Structure 1
Amino acid sequence: MTIISAILVALVAIEHVYILILEMFLWTTPRARKAFGTSKPFAEDTKSLAANQGLYNGFLAAGLFWGLIYPEAAIGHQIQIFFLGCVLVAAVYGGLTAKRSILFVQGLPAFVALAFVSIS
């Protein structure tokens, strides 16, 4: 069970690295605009805001990776629970205020990972 939970946590972290890249570096590209449902003018106008948002996603990923590599397993476990909880809160907020799909794209993987971390 521990290996499965570690894989799931890593996948959530990788997803947030991907979001960081989209928001910080690719925000105005067609790929990012399609992913976030934005227009070219909107993307240009909000480029700095998106970069800031991407940085926060990077912090979530860093925390999850930190929890995975922490040398004391019990503390690493708690770090993972904390950061998965942060991802869930962000996903619920984003799903309610921005796009409902955030609940499924970010929230569901975090929820599943949290469930596995909690029972491992």
Structure 2
Amino acid sequence: MSLFITILTSLIAIEHLGIMGLEMFANDQTKAKAFDMPLDFVRLPNTKVALANQGIYNGMLGVLIIAVNCLLTGAALKTVLALLMLYIFIVALYGTFTATKKIFFLQGLPALITLLLILIF
């Protein structure tokens, strides 16, 4: 089961690296569509800075999950991964209520399922 958890958490890490790429480097039309935002809003300089800042957080979260999978083992690995999945789920819930409902299905639900599997096995 630990290999399965490693694969799931790695997929979540890759997802967050992809979100970082969208938030930091995608063109305005792609950002507007991906994040359900009006194009005029995405083109504002302050929005570009805020999205890039958010991108750094998502990217570093992805890197942290990968690092944890590579550096920790046993109970420490399970504890840290559980905390990271809980963190992602809570943040996704906030985003679901404040930004767009699809955040729950794209980020929150995979993290919740992975968290439950970590806790069960």
Query: Quick check: 1:63–1:79 contact (8 Å CA) kept in 2?
Result: no
1:79-118 mapped onto 2 (5 Å cutoff): 79-118=80-119
SS at match of 1:83: helix
Runs of 4+ in 1 over 4 A off after TM superposition: none
Number of residue pairs the alignment of both structures matches: 119
Query: Quick check: 1:64–1:84 contact (8 Å CA) kept in 2?
Result: no
Deviation at 1:94, TM superposition (A): 0.3
Q: Report the AA paired with residue 8 of structure 1.
A: L
Percentage identity across aligned positions? 35
Q: Which has the higher contact order (CA 8 A, sep 6+)?
A: 1
Give the alignment's TM-score, normalised by structure 2.
0.90
Structure 2 CA distance for aligned equivalents of residues 65 and 72 of structure 1 = 13
- Which whole-Å deviations, capped at 9, do the CAs of 1:15-64 have from their partners, x for residues lacking one? 10000000011152x22221112233211211000000111111221221
Ranges in structure 2 where 5+ consecutive residues have no aligned partner:
none
Give the alignment's TM-score, normalised by structure 1.
0.90
Residue equivalent to 2:6 = 6
Residue equivalent to 2:18 = 18
Query: Quick check: 1:66–1:79 contact (8 Å CA) kept in 2?
Result: no
SS at match of 2:50: helix
Residue equivalent to 2:41 = 42
Structure 2 CA distance for aligned equivalents of residues 118 and 71 of structure 1 = 17
Deviation at 1:114, TM superposition (A): 0.9
Ranges in structure 1 where 5+ consecutive residues have no aligned partner:
none
